[in-house]
A and B are shown apart, each in its own frame.
Chain A
Amino acid sequence: MITFTNSGLYCAAGDFYIDPWKPVTRAVITHAHSDHARLGSRYYLCENATVPLLQLRLGQDINVQGIAYNEAIYFNGVKVTLHPAGHIIGSAQIRLEKDGEVWVVSGDYKLENDGLSSPFEPVKCHTFITESTFGLPIYRWAPQEEIFSGIGQWVDDNRQSGKASVLLAYSLGKAQRVMQHLQHKTEKFLVHGAIANTHEALVHNGWKLPPIEHITPDTPKSAFPNSIIIAPPSADVSWMKKFSPYALGICSGWMTVRGNMRRQNADAGFALSDHADWPGLLSAVKATGAEKVYVTHGFSSVFARYLHEQGIAAEEVVTAYGEEENGNIVNN
């Protein structure tokens, strides 16, 4: 039903691509992160909540159609439905059905309910295409309550020593999640422009999010002491200078491994991820009941081999996904 081409995952029967990395005619998009939603395609189809995010990131003039979760749309006899992936707001697994055969493309997903995105739902299928960003058994997330209480404690400690708390989190997804769970710690969050833009697009479309203030060159220095500042991982250290004294914390699954945390020159790392951890990946795969699994971006060869040894026919597939997260983590 799906073939792996140079442009992306292609459904020949329905003549459309899923998350193509080259411009195509019809692109079905799992979620609005830049490695999955790329510029240049003629028509886009995605979950309703993803529409304004795509417009924000790819331009208001793109040709995009939104549908709801579980709402069916047909492409030349291929039934396409979207199902919550729990990764970020609007993120969807894409289910394809034709002549009784069912494929599901996971996009990125996590199993824990983050309180914002529609929680992950397992979808039965014959063939499952899964991500494997954290496909090693060393990655096992603590419950988010525990992580957020750790972050809260860290914010308190910083305030005690008169410091602002700067948290690095992806502007779409992680940033909103962090603010949602830390809203009791502050009246308003001070945020980087990338996060302010995303925030506006979401609020404009009816999402209720904690109050923010966009940090501009005019923001007075008096605003920073004791504040919680949210910035994307790409934010520059020189941009942060004016917050001094501050402590820098990174929210990312990569923070599990000490060396990864150390080379970021951050003061703290919190292993908070919007991807499935190792047990999450395994239980998601099992819940689909799939006979065949294709493993995309991440520790794909490792995860595919492990599934294979568990008696699930699995194969690694090379895609252009995962660049954003990996790129960010090593570059800043």
Chain B
Amino acid sequence: MIKKLKLSDKNVDFLKKIEELSGEVITRCDQCGICSASCPMVSEMDITPSQLMRMVQLGESEVMESKAMWLCASCFTCTVRCPRGLDLSKVAEALRQVELRQAIDHIDVKKLSKDEMKRLPQIALISGMRKFTG
């Protein structure tokens, strides 16, 4: 007998939303784990990139509570290695955008010390604000 996984409408909606934002066919992920094995940030994450993909596949919006996508540095190592041709950095960006588009910021630039502000190059501040603020 074939066992089918049935997602609730709510879960399907979440999956569709992330697929639309990222432009990636997330259901193609085979869960091989090469993204997790390649990720330079994985040791800091609460769930691994492949776990994040699995949660999105199943439409589990609880993934939004994880800090994994906020630790993604968009280094594209997983992107060049994914055997299914998926771009995980786009999926992470889609998840971040779900929050950022509601104007929920993940960094407060005003809290950076004067010394840090003086040291940081512009590209650090601009890219950081692009990734962590809405």
A associates with B = no
**A residues touching B (Cβ–Cβ < 8 Å)?**
none
**B residues touching A (Cβ–Cβ < 8 Å)?**
none
